[in-house]
């Protein structure tokens, strides 16, 4: 009988933990991400200096981040965003630093905050829409 109670208590604790975790997710994790309102302001602040014509990142990779269309076009090596898949999107891999350190972004600068990284990741998972 005590084993049953122990398993039941464990299941109850696990369920309560899951409910509480969902309740404490940042609003960015629950809300629809907007390219214009959420993603692009981060790009302007943290990425655009290098990733536009004349910038070091643009010259090396060809990635132009001035517009949604140029972001979705990607680099001279191919697309950097795979809509609905943060795992397959190289953009997410380089900002989450899941790649070789030589290509971590921002390059030779302070990494994006966890909130900034989540915005990009959620936007990609939601389809990387132009909204």
Within this chain, do residues 81 and 111 fall inside the same structural domain, yes or no?
yes
Q: What is the pLDDT of residues 53-106, one digit of tens each?
A: 999 999 999 999 999 999 999 999 999 999 999 999 999 999 999 999 999 999
Quote the pLDDT of residue 36. 98
Within this chain, do residues 84 and 51 fall inside the same structural domain, yes or no?
yes
What is the DSSP annotation of 69-120? HHHHH-BTTB-S--TT-TTT-HHHHHHTT-S-GGG-SSTTSPPPPHHHHHHH
Quote the pLDDT of residue 30. 58
How far is it, in rounded angstroms, from Cα 111 to Cα 117?
9
Within this chain, do residues 121 and 74 fall inside the same structural domain, yes or no?
yes
How far is it, in rounded angstroms, from Cα 69 to Cα 66?
9
How far out from the chain centre does Cα 51 lie? 17
Tokens describing residue 2 = 């005590």
Which domain range does residue 106 map to?
A: 31-125
Q: What is the pTM of this model?
A: 0.76
């Amino acid at each position: 009988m005590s084993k049953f109670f122990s398993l039941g208590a464990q299941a109850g604790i696990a369920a309560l933990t899951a409910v509480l975790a969902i309740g404490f997710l940042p609003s960015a994790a629950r809300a629809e991400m907007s390219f214009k309102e959420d993603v692009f302001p981060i790009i302007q602040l943290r990425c655009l200096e290098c990733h536009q014509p004349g910038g070091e990142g643009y010259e090396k990779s060809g990635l132009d981040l001035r517009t949604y269309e140029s972001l979705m076009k990607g680099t001279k090596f191919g697309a950097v965003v795979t809509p609905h898949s943060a795992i397959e999107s190289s953009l997410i891999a380089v900002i989450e630093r899941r790649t070789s350190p030589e290509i971590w972004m921002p390059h030779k600068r302070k990494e994006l905050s966890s909130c900034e990284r989540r915005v990009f990741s959620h936007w990609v998972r939601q389809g990387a829409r132009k909204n």
